[in-house]
Structure 1
Amino acid sequence: MLKLLIVDDEPIILEGLRDMIEEEKTAFRQIITARDSIEALERIELARPDLIITDIHMPEIDGLELIRRAQQKDIKRFIILTGHDVFDYARKAVKLQVIEYLLKPINQVELAEVLRRTACELIQEREILEVSGNPPEEMGTSQNEHIKLLKAYIEQSYMKDISLSDAAAYLNLHPVYLGQIFKRETGNTFVQYINQVRIGKAKEMMASMKNLSLDTIARMVGYENQRTFYKVFRKFNNETPGQFRDRKVQSDSNSLFFKGNTDHGYDVN
């Protein structure tokens, strides 16, 4: 049974969200609520939720600080709800590895989709742990360890202006050596790999954060200007970010159309 904690200082929204989620009948069967971050931290200690949905603006401790403290207690998945489409909040949310950033009023279909996707990920993780019953094997060589550490560094820092020299200094290695083993093991240069990560993150944001502009997304994934973002995006995808977003929107609209017709028994052929 998956557990979900909802945190919002507005009682009407809190109860409305709980009713909305219960109506969707997701795998989150235990739904816990808290009226502020202090109460939420108490709930976290007692219930150990698998997912936290939290507002940003709350008295005493805001939602972003709540997420930081919850992460220290090994809670890993969060959804932010807010009535403010503000770049700074979205950027901080990405740095905290929030899985979704949703604007109020909440779209029930969008929320349900996120909850189902997250539930599937959690269930799969549990199944893998149950089947294996063993911790991951130790990394075979120091070079493999360096590659894994470099990838982890990029995953944590892709939104910043980082270079191979920065990564090498972080790992206490010579940049030439690090660049050589990374190219040999992955087939990519440092720049190629970080661009792959950034463009992948940008595509996820364009699909899930539909209210954010392309310029904002470009900055959130580490590009100083939209021109560079467009150039790199097109190189990897053979289309512009705008074309990708338009195609994604059209695809989602078609999916909803066919689903709606199927649900009502219409023949779409």
Structure 2
Amino acid sequence: MYRILIVDDEPMIRKGLQKLVEQSELPIESLRTAENGVVALQRIQEERPDFLFTDIRMPKMDGLELCARVAEMDADIQVVVISGYGDFEYAQKCLSYGVKEYLLKPVNIKGFQHVLEKLIRNQSKVSSESFVAVTKLEQWAGRMEQAVWMLQQAELDCVVEEIQAELKANKLKLNRVSDILQEIHTLLHQRLNVRDVYFMQGELDLTGAVSEEEAWLRFTTAISGYLDELRIKRKGKLKDPVEEAKHYIETHLAEEVSLEEVADFIGLNPSYFSQLFKQSTAETFVQYRTRRRMEKAKKLLQQPQWRITDISGEVGYADHPHFTKTFKKYEGCLPSEYRQQMGIRS
């Protein structure tokens, strides 16, 4: 199954190329278009194509710059440049960016089919060079399943290091690494749920990962999350960990509580807790804590017996100027001005 992206600022040409692709009877996973290089880069970040067909002359970002940006990504994207006769010398500059094929306008069926066949042959070669056996993936997933089920973090880390070393030795591109990590995670998730003891909710989304480091961080965070989820389930905790965290923050607003401290209190890995908290609340830990502090400060400011300097300490700000600055950023006015709006003299 192939992913294809067509980039041209002329709608008729985009439609014509789409038709040629559809007529080729190529097994297509996705066929998308973009009207210029800027939109094309957005499409590529969303989903890496196998084949990219791009015009030379386009507004906002032309084909030459697009080819340069794609080359910087170090991705297995085969690029075909489409140009008119007058742009031929310009198109040749793209060769320095790894472009191997070009099509002259107007594009005919025979020429397009010839280029497409060459792309497929090249893709087969790339796929064979970066091949990792399914049995290997299943073996890794099996070992990880056992490590998670037995709550063996050290063994889990060992398997991850082994996978990382093998993929690095194969010199795989980012999109291939992401595909493999996604497949391992899917296999692990299925294996854990097949046990039919607990339903594991772990998810992994590598969409938009711009580097291998980011892809691996998301992967390891998701995997470690299974350990944390299993610990909670085995303790028989009926409370939602995020709700527990909120309650802990609420009762410690006067203190400088850290994410690590709260994660330790509820028994979760800090990275996993951070991800879980944001998914559940649509806020980061710090954003949530700040909002709750400011909301408490507003309630206290409405009570004349409280001095503003005492309120800053009551909501966790030993540095009064920092409290004032944060309150103004959150509410749009100083604490003293807020009080005046309430008809209270400071």
Under a length normalisation based on structure 2, what TM-score does the superposition of the two structures give?
A: 0.37
Structure scoring higher RCO (CA < 8 A, sep ≥ 6) equals 1
Under a length normalisation based on structure 1, what TM-score does the superposition of the two structures give?
A: 0.47
